[in-house]
Amino acid sequence: MDNLKKKTIISAFSLFFQSGYSAGLGFLANLILTILLTPQIFGIYFTVLSLIAILNYFSDIGLAASLIQKKEIDTKDVSTVFTVQQLMILTIIFFGWLATSMIIKFYKLPLEGQYLYWSLLFSFFLSSLKTIPSILLERKIKFQKIVFVQVIENTVFYCTVIIMAVLGLGLTSFTLGVILRAIIGLVAIYWLSPWKIEIGIDKNALKKLLSFGVPFQMSSFLALVKDDLLTLYLGKVLGFQALGYIGWAKKWAESPIRIIMDSLSRVLFPVISLFQEDKERLKKVIEKSIYYQSAIVIPSIFGLAIIMGELVNFIPKYIKWAPALPLFYLFCISALFSSYSTPFINLFNGLGKAKLSFVFMVVWTTATWILTPVLTHVYGSFGFPITLVILSSSFIIVVGYAKKILKFSFLDNVSQFFISSLAMTAVCLLLASLSFPKSLSLILIVLGGIITYLFTLRLLFKINFLKELKEFTK
């Protein structure tokens, strides 16, 4: 058990490092790219990326998740998942390639957009070959090796895109970055997790895997309909420039939860699956995840909301993103709310209750597609973020269902960090209102915010968060 705890902590911190590293590198890349490239190019990139995301959801039918959730697996399970997945992926890529001309005409993409689409199809195939080696590492809770591959991939991608953009290649910068990332990532994962490819389908194994996999993947499919298909709809209705603003705002607003929650979710799912019959341990796992999530995500989103306006005015040629700031603030609210649905969806899936997760996704998807067109018609580009704010507030219902399954404390692990973040916000706004040079003002706001947050935790709630983190890592 101690060994499992050690592997879990190492895996979690590895994922946090990867997310932090990628976020830092992505931050630098975004600063450079959003200076060099236009909102329209970003709109095209987000659109094509969503097209590939749609194909990706049809490539698995939940078999990969079934391998992770299943207590024991054998070679028949593994070969069955690989074979079925590859048959589906090759079929999808073939039809995706046939649909090229239709997609180009529908979105009026330039030739560079077509090449980007083909490069993503190619990387889609190479990524599928990484599935089994990655699953074998996840089952062993050895995420640090997966993280190493992702660090290499992100470094290659961002460095390639930055260099190519500086050279003036525009949208083609993304195309070259996508291809290099896919090739290098495939080589790296097989080096760290060697696996001899085996072909074959066992009907009994397939039937058992599908019993969990289909409801799980249906939830993922609905997430696709709710998010990526909606991006395609918005790109057509609002245009690439408006979509570029939405994509920029959403990406920045969700960056804290992408760093924290994506990492936490990847570790939580296999850990919950291992402890699914030990309710006491599950309670501790869930409460700790809420505690540390709140401690980091809440002040991060509050802080980001405060300084983003300052950054837009401070960074040269970044003022072109000023129209996206109101959208950004709405996305910050929805990001904070939605972050509290994620741990409990993982709880449902880890306990084998994928059908419950599916029900929530049905409701969210239906509501998204009802509200977004209506609100977009009324409020334009504000329609989508308003919809997300409304739907993300339903995290309260998700928490309620989770409490019926597992008795845990929610507010006790959230309230102190929320109150401390409000105090931090008040101090930051006060500092922002003072007449300092812009560069000095940014430094004072960041430092003042961090100090106020930690001081409030210590003074009001007797929480020495830095000491807790140090003890946790030990």
Percent of the residues in the chain that have a pLDDT greater than 70, as a whole number: 77
Q: How confident is the model at residue 183 (pLDDT cuts 50, 70, 90)?
A: very high
Per-residue model confidence (pLDDT) at position 17: 63
Query: Rounded to an integer, what distance in angstroms lies between the CA atom of residue 331 and that of residue 309?
Result: 14
pLDDT of residue 59: 47
Q: Cβ contacts of residue 173 below 8 Å, gap of 6+?
A: 33, 37, 160, 161, 162, 163, 164, 165
**pLDDT tens by residue, 223-261:** 666 666 777 788 778 887 888 889 889 988 988 887 777
Domain layout of the chain by residue ranges: 2-413
Residues belonging to the chain: 474
> 315-332 burial, b if ≥16 CB within 10 A, otherwise e?
eeeeeebebbbebbebbb
218 in Cβ contact with 61 (< 8 Å)? no
Banded model confidence at residue 474, pLDDT cuts 50, 70, 90: low
Q: Cβ neighbours of residue 303 under 8 Å, at least 6 residues apart? A: 424, 428, 446, 449
| pLDDT tens-place string over residues 122-133 | 888 888 888 888
Rounded CA-CA distance 203/373 in Å is 43
Query: Can you give the pLDDT at residue 421?
Result: 95
The per-residue pLDDT for 20 is 62
* pLDDT value of residue 390: 95
- Residue 197 gets the label, from left (phi > 0), alpha (psi -120 to 50) or beta, of beta
Distance, CA of 152 to CA of 25 (rounded, Å) = 12
Q: What's this model's pTM, rounded to 2 decimal places?
A: 0.68
What's the pLDDT tens digit per position in 251-308?
Answer: 889 888 877 776 666 666 666 766 777 778 888 888 888 998 899 899 999 999 998 9
Q: For residues 455 and 136, what is the distance between their CA atoms, to the nearest angstrom?
A: 43
- Half-sphere exposure (CA, 13 Å, Cβ side) for 85? 31
Instruction: Concatenate the DSSP letters of all residues of 351-396 into one string.
Output: TT-HHHHHHHHHHHHHHHHHHHHHHHHHHGGGHHHHHHHHHHTTHH
Reported confidence tier of residue 456, pLDDT bands at 50, 70, 90: very high
At 29 the pLDDT is: 72
* Res 61: pLDDT: 46
Residue of 10 and 41 predicted with greater confidence:
41
User: What is the mean pLDDT of the segment spanning 139-155?
Assistant: 78
Q: For residues 235 and 246, give the distance between their C-alpha atoms in angstroms, rounded to a whole number.
A: 10
